[in-house]
Amino acid sequence: MGFFYVMDSKSEKNYFAHDSAFVDEGCEIGSGTKIWHFSHIMKNCKIGNNCNIGQNVVVSPEVILGNNVKVQNNVSIYTGVTCGDDVFLGPSMVFTNVINPRSAVNRKDQYAKTIVGKGVSIGANATIVCGHDIGDFAFIGAGAVVTKHVPDYALLVGNPARQTGWMSEYGHKLAFDEKGFATCAESGQTYSLIENKVKRIS
């Protein structure tokens, strides 16, 4: 997972935040990032360079977002989540951070961690149940409910989410031949499938 440069708290502000957005103290936000209407970036978050945080987004304390992360409208990113570079979070998708929440029981010391790898896309209205990491360049379909770890390049759909194939780094479904090789239709990149693991080879 790639990490990123974040602005020193003593440096001049080098990101954009709409007048209706709230950015709490202790946040580190990289150059070129934009935060739009009615979004709330809570304390001690780290957000990389050139991110786009859409309208009505909540980023809870201590969340980490890499460079070039695109967060669409109405997304909730709760404490315990770390996203790598180039992640796409679709409209109204949500992460959780407690397996068994109860209003009357305080479980703030039981937040589970979720790591989202480089280049992952998560579709609109998807839910990522906490404690399940998502591998690099995985693709989670709209409305999916992820309840297990997701391999690199995997395509998951449904509730509960199930794997239905593999995706290229450009977001195209890969068709592997009998020798375990596939080519992305858009980029021409080639991939191998060995022992149920995908790797880009060119």
> In CATH, what number is assigned to the domain containing residue 177?
2.20.70
Look at residue 13 in the predicted model and tell me its pLDDT.
78
In a shared domain, residues 105 and 194: no
In a shared domain, residues 102 and 181: no
In a shared domain, residues 177 and 112: no
In a shared domain, residues 103 and 85: yes
CATH number at residue 4: 2.160.10.10
In a shared domain, residues 174 and 76: no
As given in the structure block, the two tokens for residue 159 are 């509730």
In a shared domain, residues 5 and 57: yes
Number of domains composing the chain: 2
In a shared domain, residues 132 and 92: yes
Look at residue 1 in the predicted model and tell me its pLDDT.
40
Look at residue 8 in the predicted model and tell me its pLDDT.
42
In a shared domain, residues 35 and 116: yes
In a shared domain, residues 105 and 140: yes
In a shared domain, residues 175 and 150: no
Look at residue 146 in the predicted model and tell me its pLDDT.
98
Mean pLDDT of the chain: 94
Tens digit of each residue's pLDDT (9 = 90 or more) over 81-121: 999 999 999 999 999 999 999 999 999 999 999 999 999 99
Look at residue 12 in the predicted model and tell me its pLDDT.
61
Look at residue 197 in the predicted model and tell me its pLDDT.
97
Q: pTM for this structure? A: 0.92
3-state secondary structure the chain: CCCCCCCCCCCCCCCEECCCCEECCCCEECCCCEECCCCEECCCCEECCCCEECCCCEECCCCEECCCCEECCCCEECCCEEECCCCEECCCCEECCCCCCECCECCHHHCCCEEECCCCEECCCCEECCCCCECCCCEECCCCEECCCECCCEEEECCCCEEEEEECCCCCECCCCCCCEEECCCCCCEEEEECCEEEECC
In a shared domain, residues 115 and 200: no
The boundaries of the domain holding residue 106 are 1-167
Rounded mean pLDDT, 153-180 = 98
In a shared domain, residues 97 and 192: no
